[in-house]
Amino acid sequence: MYFCLAKNYLLRYYLKMIKKNEQRDIDTKAKLQQLRREAEEEKAKNLANKLGFSYIDLRISPIDEYALALAKKEEAVKAQAAIIQQKQKELVVVAVNPQLAATKVFIKNLEEQGYRINLAVVSKSNIQRAWDKYELVKTRTVITQKAEIDTEQLKQIQQGLATIKDLNEALQKAKSSATELLNTIIAAGLKLEASDIHIETTAKEARLRFRIDGILQDAGFIPLTAFNLLLPRIKILSGLKINIHNVPQDGRFTFKSENTIIEIRVSTIPAEHGENIVFRVLDPKTIGLKLEDLGIQNYDFKIIETELKKPNGMIITCGPTGSGKTTLLYAFLKKVNNPEIKIITLEDPIEYHLEGVEQTQVDETGGAYTFANGLRSIVRQDPDIIMVGEIRDNETAEIAINAALTGHLVFSTLHTNDAAGAIPRLIDMKINPSLIPPALNLVIAQRLVRRVCPKCSEEVSPDKETLEKIKKELANLPSRVQKPDLEKITIKNASQTGCSFCNFTGYKGRIGVFELFVVDDKMEKVILQTPSFVEVKETAIKSGMVTMKQDGILKVINKITTIDEVERILG
């Protein structure tokens, strides 16, 4: 018996040792592979310095598939080169060795077509990344040939759509043609400034809805026969598999409208009566706003300007999905961008292209380029300012904090309901509380409220109940903000029926409501005690924070929005 026990013990021991050795071998191989890659990149850098060219790391730098398509894959492989960026007639071309005869011929051919070439050196491993992208180019070429968006037709359709009520008639006219039907839907979405377009199948028809100013509105119905024509066209256009119906799919397509590149992100999911489709409309006009245009009150704007001028630290914006966090980050970048500094972004995905900013995009496939390892690589690229689309986990949070502590200015977002929630959230991510105060400069939270329609709204004196709500909310307004004379104010009410200008909703457009606090000495003492959300909020208010609710009420008094809208969004 003892012999059997000893034998079993030894067997388990040997198996454990074998597994340990196998893991050690795997780790060793991974380290050797990493060392080989680093040596290869170093070799490419040395060649670039020797020949007087720039060096580019394609693990970091984005590759534009449309630029890549300017040359055939066979030509690029033969030349050991690739076109990775295009700006009008200027191209960025990367090559393994610019002195190769085939590379020189490749460059000469491009120059003869009238292009100006910026040539850079890239490693052999990295050039493969560019060549692998040709699969996307192939897909997009097919899409472009078979399913182009007719922008002239979009304009014509838009001219006949004064309001959302005109859309049903247009849908009925277009129902026999998938092309016309899709163009009608997109034209209406752009005309009405919809952020999302929903097509939802029912037993008898497909329901069309637009999200306008954050609210879903019924737009019309599409017969199922027409929807069955429309669905494959959408899938072809966005690079989805037309024969797959039982799993979700994601894709996208772009087109040019009035000299602006519009991107549509497409998502499909299987539902009870067929597939449901959602378009996310990414219009640069709605994303690329200036900081001054977002609705930040002057007393808070001055604080933000001061913090943006600091050379290091972190600024975090907070809020749920769709609250305008990304727009605010882009506004920060536009405010600080200048030729004397290097800005690198890490986004998921890139939503708005900024001149002079190195924008990179997360690729979670196989952990190739995540927020964590992407941020780690970006720090080694000698940036002055880093923008991280979102802090999702402990690893990303730690690297971002360390970057802020080592001379970088870092912008990022957190999914919390308000500004005070940022501190407990970071602590929940296992960030040492002692590291937060020296790293974190400013926390901003925001929501979007609808602007009251300037055409059909009614200016009134607030009733007794409304006035009491306003007085109660502004009772503890900080001394740094001038308190309005509440006995003389008038406010605006949204029209119940609306007008054609606001699509009969009573509201037109949206504006931000904000709250922010600086991490000062008082806040530092609280953070070091691992505080609750309530303790952080109380400290911020005592230090002069105007809450989002107060900011919303002040915008009601300034006749920008309504008390009903502020209560709908903020409670």
**Across residues 123-129, what is the average pLDDT?**
89
pLDDT for residue 300 is more than 70:
yes
For residue 522, how many other CB atoms are within 10 A of its CB? 14
DSSP, collapsed to helix, strand or coil, labels residue 526 as helix
The pLDDT value recorded for residue 31 is 65
Structural domain harbouring 250? 145-282
Indicate whether 500 belongs to any domain. no
Indicate whether 480 belongs to any domain. no
**Which has more pLDDT, 65 or 374?**
374
Of 112, 135, 158, which marks where a domain is finished? Answer: 135
Indicate whether 570 belongs to any domain. no
pLDDT for residue 162 is more than 90:
no
pLDDT for residue 76 is more than 50:
yes
* Average predicted confidence (pLDDT) for the chain: 88
In sequence order, the β-bridge partners of residue 458 are: 493
Q: Do 296 and 417 belong to one domain? A: yes
**Across residues 225-252, what is the average pLDDT?**
90
Of 135, 163, 194, which marks where a domain is finished? Answer: 135
The pLDDT value recorded for residue 145 is 32
Query: How many CA atoms are closer than 13 Å to the CA of 313, on its beta-carbon side?
Result: 17
> What confidence tens digit (pLDDT) does each residue in 405-435 have?
999 999 999 999 999 999 999 999 999 999 9
**Which has more pLDDT, 25 or 375?**
375
- The answer to whether 320 and 415 have CB atoms below 8 angstroms apart is yes
**Across residues 192-199, what is the average pLDDT?**
94
Q: Do 318 and 440 belong to one domain? A: yes
**Which has more pLDDT, 82 or 13?**
82
Q: Do 318 and 430 belong to one domain? A: yes
User: What is the percent of the chain with per-residue pLDDT over 70, rounded to a whole number?
Assistant: 89
pLDDT for residue 249 is more than 50:
yes
Indicate whether 505 belongs to any domain. no
The pLDDT value recorded for residue 565 is 98
Indicate whether 27 belongs to any domain. no
**Across residues 491-506, what is the average pLDDT?**
93
Q: Do 109 and 174 belong to one domain? A: no
pLDDT tier for residue 345 given thresholds of 50, 70 and 90: very high
User: What is the percent of the chain with per-residue pLDDT over 90, rounded to a whole number?
Assistant: 62
User: Residue 344's domain is classified under what CATH number?
Assistant: 3.40.50.300
10 Å CB burial of residue 367 (0-12, 13-18, 19+) is exposed
Indicate whether 466 belongs to any domain. no
The pLDDT value recorded for residue 5 is 47
Q: Do 386 and 532 belong to one domain? A: yes
**Across residues 263-290, what is the average pLDDT?**
89
Q: Do 353 and 234 belong to one domain? A: no
279-313 b/e with 16+ CB inside 10 Å = b? bbbbbeeeebbebeebbbbeebeebbeebbeeebb
User: Residue 251's domain is classified under what CATH number?
Assistant: 3.30.450.90
Indicate whether 459 belongs to any domain. no
pLDDT for residue 17 is more than 80:
no
Q: Do 98 and 185 belong to one domain? A: no
Paired sense of beta strands 260-271 and 313-318, if any = unpaired
Q: Do 376 and 519 belong to one domain? A: yes
> What confidence tens digit (pLDDT) does each residue in 307-317 have?
999 999 999 99
**Which has more pLDDT, 341 or 165?**
341
Q: Distances in Å between the alpha carbon of 112 and those of 64, 92, 116, 132, 480?
A: 22, 16, 10, 27, 63
The pLDDT value recorded for residue 349 is 80
Q: Do 152 and 297 belong to one domain? A: no
pTM score: 0.73
Of 261, 282, 303, which marks where a domain is finished? Answer: 282
Query: How many CA atoms are closer than 13 Å to the CA of 118, on its beta-carbon side?
Result: 12
User: Residue 87's domain is classified under what CATH number?
Assistant: 3.30.300.160
**Across residues 477-497, what is the average pLDDT?**
93
Reference 67, options 55, 76, 59; nearest CA is: 76
Q: Do 316 and 445 belong to one domain? A: yes
pLDDT for residue 456 is more than 70:
yes
Q: Do 218 and 103 belong to one domain? A: no
Q: How many domains does the chain have?
A: 3
pLDDT for residue 26 is more than 60:
no
- The answer to whether 446 and 516 have CB atoms below 8 angstroms apart is no
Q: Do 116 and 209 belong to one domain? A: no
Indicate whether 105 belongs to any domain. yes
**Across residues 55-65, what is the average pLDDT?**
82
